[in-house]
Amino acid sequence: MKTKIKVLIVEDDPFIGLITKECFETRNFEVTLCENGELGYKSFLEFNPDICILDVMMPLKDGFTLAEEIRAINQQVPILFLTAKALKEDVIKGFQIGADDYVKKPFSVEELIARVNAILRRTKVSEDLNEHKIFQIGTLQFDSEFQLLRTEKEEIKLTDKESSILAELCKKEDQITDRSVLLMNIWGDDSFFNSRSLDVYITKIRKHLKNDPNVELVTVRGKGFKLWAGNKKAFEN
């Protein structure tokens, strides 16, 4: 049985905390939410999370202090800070303590999840725990582990980037995959250069998918991409 990735969220704003927790849970993460640093430290010891998301400004114990306590007993677990402040000194302090990333409030939960996934990939914590390895796309079969797209006549070896992008699209087949989220998941940032690179890879993937004329990879202007395979309308909700 595959194990869920465990996320510890320490956030004193109940609305932000609850919304963030629910969004992570819909992505099949196991989440513990705490409202202050003292409870966060106790939960860290009991919950043994794979990644910690810590608000900086909190009562009883701030995020920096909590991170220092966590780092004193665990040098490996990834830590991501949430902060309403973006002073250079605070950012530097966070990274000196051992932060893996910083997200400024207000933030998009989709972006936060993308950043968490990027961190987990870099630290090899996720190891595809929640991911399917083989996807059926119409008559095509995509093996994401071995980066192979199988048609009725041949096997197409995909590049690392092609395989990673196609896997992200397959996870949300018949749904829109947000462009920014896709960039964050694959490249770790959504810069202009990476955005142009994404368009090149999308073109290459479309050529591979033409082996099944019923499969379409649709660009949804201003949003992202939608992989459509079979007897459904491409923009059906």
Question: What would the pLDDT profile of 135-169 be if each residue is shown by its tens digit?
Answer: 889 899 999 878 899 988 889 999 888 988 998 89
Tell whether the model's pLDDT for residue 193 goes beyond 90.
no
Q: Is the pLDDT of residue 87 over 60?
A: yes
The secondary structure element, H or E, covering residue 142 is strand 140-143
Higher pLDDT, 102 or 129: 102
pLDDT number for residue 233: 37
Instruction: Give per-residue pLDDT as tens, 7-59.
Output: 999 999 999 999 999 999 999 899 999 999 999 999 999 998 999 999 999 98
Spell out the residues 6+ positions from residue 46 whose beta carbon is closer than 8 angstroms to its own: none
What whole-number percentage of the chain has pLDDT above 70? Answer: 90
CA angle 25, 9, 111 (to 5 degrees): 65
Q: Tell me the per-residue pLDDT of 198-223, one tens digit each, with 9 for 90 and over.
A: 999 999 999 999 989 899 999 998 88
Which CATH code, of 3.40.190.10, 3.40.720.10, 3.30.1360.170, 3.40.50.2300, is assigned to 6-122?
3.40.50.2300
Q: Using pLDDT thresholds of 50, 70 and 90, give the confidence band for residue 129.
A: very low
Measured CA to CA in angstroms, residue 233 lies from 138, 140, 176, 230 at distances of 14, 19, 13, 9
Domain ranges of the chain: 6-122, 134-229
Indicate if the pLDDT at residue 235 is higher than 50.
no
> Does pTM surpass 0.95?
no
Q: What is the dihedral of CA 140, 142, 147, 150, to 10 degrees?
A: -30
Please give the CATH topology (third level) of the domain spanning 134-229: Arc Repressor Mutant, subunit A (1.10.10)
Q: Whose structure tokens read 């996807």?
A: 135
